[in-house]
Amino acid sequence: MPGVHHAQNLGPGSPKTREKSVQTQVRLFTGNAHPALASAIGSFLEIPVAKARVVRFSDGETFCEIGENVRAVDAYIIQPTSSPVNDNLMELLIMADTLKRASAKHITAVIPYYGYARQDRKVAPRTPITSKLVADLLQAAGVTRVVSVDLHAGQIQGFFNIPFDHLYAMPVMLEDYIKKNFDSSCAVVSPDAGGVERARAFSKRLNASLAIIDKRRERANVSEVMHLIGDVRGKDCIIVDDMIDTAGTLAGASKALIDNGAKSVVACATHGVLSGPAIERIMASPLKEVVVTDSIPLSDEARTCGKIKQVTIARLLGEAIKRIHSGESVSSLFA
């Protein structure tokens, strides 16, 4: 779909006239968070990433300059708000404001990984709901639509008063990794009670059994495996989750599965945050492989870790952009 131009149906008139009448054009932009993913999406759509300069002054301030005309175009900013979260979020906000002031018709923030998603409610008195604050900031900056993948809390969509397309990486993970390596004899495992719905969806697609790790979190980034619900003896197990942060939950879950007779354990997660001691814990765990998407760029340490593999969501995001632009259903991507 070169240029992603959508010809308008003008009724009577010569084909030449109709070819010249073109609706809003698409422009892809990226900050410094994940230019490789933006480039891959551009390759899928057969359009280049548009010119934009996003730099920091010596005092730390962020500056953005768009290098081409964007008047009346559909602009898509591809920018996960991963680490460094505040820098990447500020880049996204400033790019949106720049495009708004340059008269872009629509500004869609494509946020593969939505930072601050875990602060979606008050967990104690006098604490913030920062994911709602981020939503307010994006709208104030001029964003008219948001696209994100596997939100930690689906209700974050309700924090926005603009359209929000919530995509799922499950089809990508299934086709590009799981179905190539496993059959219905495996067991799909949820690492906690909150992820049961996700694990059930995977197990249904594979016609595989389901198991659940009963875990209680004592404090942030510290978890304790209690016991296993389900039979995994002699089975290849796939732990599925939305993200892997410090990998404490993952390491504990993999050990519990092996202790209960699992043949092997792999993990599949959409977002490879992999902060703090994550790599060390993964290497020391019984995990055979850890598969994540490229919603977040991997660190040098993660790239050289023999257990970590990555699948791309560039086609998923590219197809979503194409359908949004042409007014087609995005939900049909998951049919």
Task: Give catalytic residue positions.
Answer: 215
**Beta strand ranges found along the chain (DSSP E):** 26-30, 52-56, 62-66, 74-78, 106-111, 145-149, 164-167, 187-190, 209-219, 222-229, 236-244, 264-272, 289-293, 308-311
The token pair that represents 205 in the structure block? 């697609």
Q: H helices within the chain, ranges in order?
A: 15-20, 35-45, 85-101, 130-141, 170-173, 179-181, 196-206, 248-259, 278-284, 300-303, 314-326
The token pair that represents 107 in the structure block? 């500004």
Contact 276, 246 (CB under 8 A): yes
C-alpha to C-alpha distance for 233 and 263, rounded to whole angstroms: 7
- Dihedral angle sign, alpha carbons of residues 280, 285, 289, 293: negative
The position carrying tokens 């995977």 is: 202
Contact 209, 119 (CB under 8 A): no
